[in-house]
Amino acid sequence: MEKEKLGIYIHIPFCKSKCGYCDFCSHTPKKGETERYLNALMLNMQDFSSSAKGYSVDTVYIGGGTPTLLSKKHLKDLVDCVFTTFNVEKGAEITIEANPGTVDKSTLRALVSAGVNRISFGFQSASDKELRALGRIHTVQEFADSFKAARSAGFKNINVDLMYGIPHQTEDSFAKTLEFVKSLSPEHISVYGLKIEEGTPFYEAQDSLPLPDEESEYRMYRTAHRMLDAAGYEHYEISNYARRGFRSKHNMRYWKDEKYLGFGVAAHSYFGGQRYAYTDDIEAYIREMEHPSSISDILSECTDIDVFTKETEYVMLRMRLFDGVDLMEYRREFGEDFMRKYGAKLERYINGGFVTANSTKCAFSLKGMYVSNYILSEILDF
Ligand code: SF4
């Protein structure tokens, strides 16, 4: 019998310095912290080897932070630990996030020979002025060099992260960023709108940041769709574009509500009928792994997924995809008719061109996707 599939996420909470907009769990590592954290991570994974025994791992994602701040040896030890602890299937998608300027050819080659086959570069913009305003540690040229080095090291699946709505950005400079990235021909491009999160330097300074206005931001979102669609990239999720056959398998797992185990501080999991996340307190996490007492002490959240939550999450996550909700699948999963349940609430959005519905699926249009959070909050009871 075929084993059930599972994804693995590993969080590396280290960065050279903090970008002005970042609220991810990351910091500059203290002396000796990297070794202790890696050791804790591996213990954490090994603890799950028996509960994950019956699963076949088809995606692994090493994210952060900046995983490529780790030494070549640490990266190899980490990837080897994943392979020896879990049943990683042949051809599994194994991604690592990288900051341009933090990878050299020999590290990239070592990653490929360790089994990593997808790399995701946080680039954001092809304007050095915009990169500086974001607090990024790299230049445009360093990104281009890292991208080419990744190709020559053997990466055949590369993602590039971009951002719109950033300080000093204009519609013209954003279009130039898209042109520049298209010219490199990555297999996958993510395009996120900048969100100003509480607790970040950008939040404190937001009134004085030279940000594009909302109308320009919306036009940038549409420009990304138009230019990338014309270049052969499928806009398959609110912020994600892929060449045929290169959708992010790991992220698809999140959007399709499939199981994954997360390891490391602030890592989330969906496993055993629960969603849970580890604390972002690195010292507490390391202590618990070194001297186990009660794992629940280092969980920042833990929720049993009942049928109501499952159904709500299903709709929220599927609607992020342009494939939308498959009406037959919805009926199979939840035993009721999607349009009978949501049709009345959706009617004004269907009439307004925000949502499309036919006999097989219900999905957001391009303009609907842009305001999807608002529409979902109107139709779902949560
Ligand atoms: S590189 Fe990424 S994780 Fe690190 S500080 Fe910048 S945005 Fe945050």
Distances (CA, A) of 252 to 63, 240, 323, 351: 16, 11, 12, 29
Cα 108 to ligand 1 centre (Å):
20
Residues 368-371: contacts with CB within 8 Å, 24+ apart? 369/238, 369/322, 370/218, 370/221
Model pLDDT, residue 101: 85
> What are the helix (H) ranges across 208-337?
214-230, 249-255, 282-290, 307-318, 327-334
Query: Among residues 12, 19, 76, 5, which one has the least CA distance to residue 44?
Result: 12
Asked if omega into 264 is within 30° of 0 (cis), the reply is no
DSSP letters spanning 156-174: --EEEEEEES-TT--HHHH
Report residue 302 as tokens.
């833990």
CA 99, distance to chain mean position in Å, is 14
Mean pLDDT of the chain: 97
In tens, the pLDDT along 132-173 reads 999 999 999 999 999 999 999 999 999 999 999 999 999 999
Tell me the β-bridge partners of 161.
Answer: 122, 190
Percent composition of the chain: helix, strand, coil (DSSP 3-state, to 5): 45, 25, 35
Q: In this predicted model, what pLDDT tens digit does every residue of 42-76 receive, in sequence order? A: 999 999 999 999 999 999 999 999 999 999 999 99
Percent of the chain with pLDDT over 70: 100
- Ligand 1 atom index nearest CA of 136: 6
- Residue 381: pLDDT over 90: no
H or E element in which residue 350 lies: helix 338-351
Q: Do the beta carbons of residue 300 and residue 277 sit within 8 Å?
A: yes
| Nearest CA-CA partner of 100 in 135, 68, 62, 132 | 68
Residue 235: name the closest of 188, 294, 179 by CA: 188
| CB-count burial class (<10 Å; 0-12, 13-18, 19+) for 338 | buried
**pTM for the structure as a whole:** 0.96
pLDDT in tens, 81-128: 999 999 999 999 999 999 998 899 999 999 999 999 999 999 999 999
pLDDT of residue 1: 76
152-162 residue pLDDT tens: 999 999 999 99
Within 6 A (CB) of ligand 1 lie: 15, 18-19, 22, 24, 26, 64-66, 99, 122
Nearest CA to ligand 1 atom 5: 18
- Which of 12, 14, 22 most suits a substitution to test ligand 1, by most atoms within 8 Å of the C-beta? 22
Query: Average pLDDT for residues 251-256, to the nearest whole number?
Result: 97
Domain boundaries defined on the chain: 4-255, 321-379
pLDDT of 91 reads: 96
- CA 11 to ligand 1 center in whole angstroms: 12
Fold of 4-255: TIM Barrel (3.20.20)
